[in-house]
């Protein structure tokens, strides 16, 4: 294959880098505010078991599928499918489109985390004392005519700075610095939270298995979360794997990424709930325990009630900024690599065009929560429609078609080579993987998709 000898293309320096960049994409805001709240509400330890099962059954086979497509072709998402089977190029376009649309609102939320980080550092976040006051602040901030947009733009420009430096000097170097930083910060936060008095109630909330709360809906929710959290179905893993070197063991990398992603989600829960229960912040029914409100209303109020609250708030929002940044980098790269390779633009030009489009789209998404809230698509604001369209439709469809492509159309010889399966010795594993990709993943993803549309 021509791609194998394509020496001009960037490759990551080491196997560790492969794990770090891919884990950087996977670990994001979804781990830190979505997973813990979901687990708490859906049966704690029971949800966790279910989630791990979903990661193994659905997440790992699909990640391996995307890794194989990426490294076998050594192309951006569109180029990868075009090279492997021209008729499937549309799947590459779907990936680039999802990445583009997700970025539109992900930058807005990332901008909020940056604004809150800045306020924690300057101390302005510690000025209020009730969760209600924090609710007012957050709601006013969200609809402010320019502040959230400016912060989203700053985030876009920071991401641009790293992407423009290139794969080795930008993405790889930043992952080597940011991922260890993220772990240290998270471990410190979780340790501090667990050491607070009466923190065990929070641990119980997160981990005590309650199987009575597990319904078919819970299973689908766990699946959707596993999918989003592992960044599957939008070309990130294809694009990153196209930079992996030949020595990288795809199976081991996928397992490491999935384990790291799950550990981060759990640690995030341990950083939030024990501290929140210890401070008695959830005793009022008014206080949100999930979603952005948990992070931007409940937690600032919680930090405010702690000794050294400003410091803890700064550390926590730094964690969010870092988690968000490693994810925006991967999405920005999907679009940049596509423009660079398919439109024959220079890398800097491609990054620049992606950035300019993002300045525009993120401003629209941000303003749609305030000034432009009357602009609706099927009754949803621009922000919500970007979220709905990507999470509920394009991503599951992308995953579904990826599993079908790799299960049925991808050359078996290439798959064996990419996965390092030689001879008859390990054929059982390949048969198992193919069974999952051909039958199990498509059926499950179809169910997720239909459920998202309210058809199930």
Footprint of ligand PHE (CB under 6 A): 25-26, 28-31, 102, 228-229, 231, 234, 236, 327, 330-331
Nearer to ligand PHE, 26 or 276 (CB): 26
Nearer to ligand PHE, 236 or 382 (CB): 236
Nearer to ligand PHE, 66 or 451 (CB): 66
Nearer to ligand PHE, 76 or 327 (CB): 327
Q: Residue 47's beta-bridge partner residues?
A: none
Give the HSE-up count for residue 30: Cα atoms under 13 Å, Cβ half-sphere. 26
Residue 61 CB, nearest approach to ligand PHE (Å): 17
Nearer to ligand PHE, 114 or 281 (CB): 114
- Closest C-alpha to 299, from 202, 418, 429, 431: 202
**Alpha helix stretches (DSSP H) within 166-243:** 173-194, 200-207, 216-229, 236-241
Residue 327 CB, nearest approach to ligand PHE (Å): 4
Answer for the pair 395, 98: CB distance below 8 angstroms, yes or no: yes
Q: Inter-axis angle of helices 173-194 and 15-26, to 10 degrees? A: 60
Radius of gyration of the chain (CA): 21
Residue 167, φ and ψ in degrees, nearest 5 = -70, -50
Nearer to ligand PHE, 44 or 224 (CB): 224
SS3 369: coil
Residue 123 CB, nearest approach to ligand PHE (Å): 28
Nearer to ligand PHE, 132 or 357 (CB): 357
Answer for the pair 271, 186: CB distance below 8 angstroms, yes or no: yes
Nearer to ligand PHE, 32 or 421 (CB): 32
Q: How far apart are CA 187 and CA 148, in angstroms?
A: 29
Helix (H) or strand (E) holding 209: none
Residue 196 CB, nearest approach to ligand PHE (Å): 26
DSSP, residue by residue, 278-304:
HTTGGGSTTS--SHHHIIIIIHHHHHH
Residue 285 CB, nearest approach to ligand PHE (Å): 28
Residue 325 CB, nearest approach to ligand PHE (Å): 11
Residue 383 CB, nearest approach to ligand PHE (Å): 16
Give whole-number Cα distances, 426 to 64, 68, 255, 432, 433, in Å.
16, 17, 17, 10, 11
Nearer to ligand PHE, 120 or 239 (CB): 239
Give the list of residues 6+ apart from residue 101 with CB closer than 8 angstroms, or none: 386, 389, 390, 394
Residue 33 CB, nearest approach to ligand PHE (Å): 9
Residue 236 CB, nearest approach to ligand PHE (Å): 5
């Amino acid at each position: 294959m021509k791609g194998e000898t394509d020496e001009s293309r960037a490759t990551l320096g080491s196997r560790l880098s492969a794990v770090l960049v891919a884990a950087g994409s996977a670990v994001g805001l979804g781990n830190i505010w979505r997973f813990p709240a979901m687990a708490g509400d859906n049966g704690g330890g029971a949800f966790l078991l279910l989630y791990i099962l979903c990661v193994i059954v659905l997440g790992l086979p699909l990640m391996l599928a995307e890794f194989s497509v990426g490294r076998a072709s050594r192309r951006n998402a569109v180029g990868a499918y075009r090279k492997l089977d021209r008729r499937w190029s549309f799947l590459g376009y779907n990936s680039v489109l999802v990445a583009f649309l997700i970025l539109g609102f992900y930058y807005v939320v990332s901008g909020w985390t940056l604004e809150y980080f800045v306020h924690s550092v300057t101390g302005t976040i510690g000025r209020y004392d009730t969760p209600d006051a924090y609710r007012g602040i957050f709601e006013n901030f969200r609809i402010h005519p320019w502040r959230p947009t400016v912060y989203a733009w700053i985030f876009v420009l920071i991401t641009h700075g790293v992407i423009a430096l290139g794969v080795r000097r930008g993405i790889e170097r930043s992952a080597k610095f940011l991922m260890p930083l993220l772990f240290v910060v998270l471990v410190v936060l979780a340790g501090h939270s667990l050491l607070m008095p009466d923190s065990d109630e929070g641990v119980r909330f997160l981990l005590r298995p309650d199987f009575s709360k597990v319904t078919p809906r819970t299973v689908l929710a766990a699946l959707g979360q596993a999918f989003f959290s592992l960044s599957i179905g939008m070309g990130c893993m294809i694009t990153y794997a196209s930079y992996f070197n030949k020595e990288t063991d795809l199976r081991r990398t996928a397992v490491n990424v999935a384990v790291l992603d799950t550990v981060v989600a759990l640690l995030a829960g341990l950083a939030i709930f024990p501290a929140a229960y210890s401070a008695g912040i959830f005793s009022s029914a008014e206080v949100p325990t999930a979603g952005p409100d948990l992070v931007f209303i409940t937690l600032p109020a919680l930090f405010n009630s702690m000794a050294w609250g400003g410091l803890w708030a700064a550390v926590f929002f730094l964690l969010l900024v870092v988690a968000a940044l490693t994810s925006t980098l991967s999405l920005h790269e999907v679009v940049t690599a596509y423009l660079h390779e398919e439109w024959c633009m220079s890398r800097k030009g491609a990054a620049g065009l992606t950035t300019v489009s993002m300045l525009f789209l993120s401003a629209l998404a941000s303003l749609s929560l305030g000034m432009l809230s009357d602009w609706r698509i099927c009754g949803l604001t621009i922000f919500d429609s970007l979220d709905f369209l990507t999470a509920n439709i394009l991503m599951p469809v992308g995953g579904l078609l990826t599993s079908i492509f790799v299960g049925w159309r991808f050359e078996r010889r290439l798959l064996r080579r990419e996965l390092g399966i030689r001879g008859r010795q390990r054929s059982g594993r390949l048969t198992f993987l193919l069974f999952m990709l051909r039958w199990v993943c498509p059926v499950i993803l179809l169910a997720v998709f239909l459920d998202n549309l309210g058809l199930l």
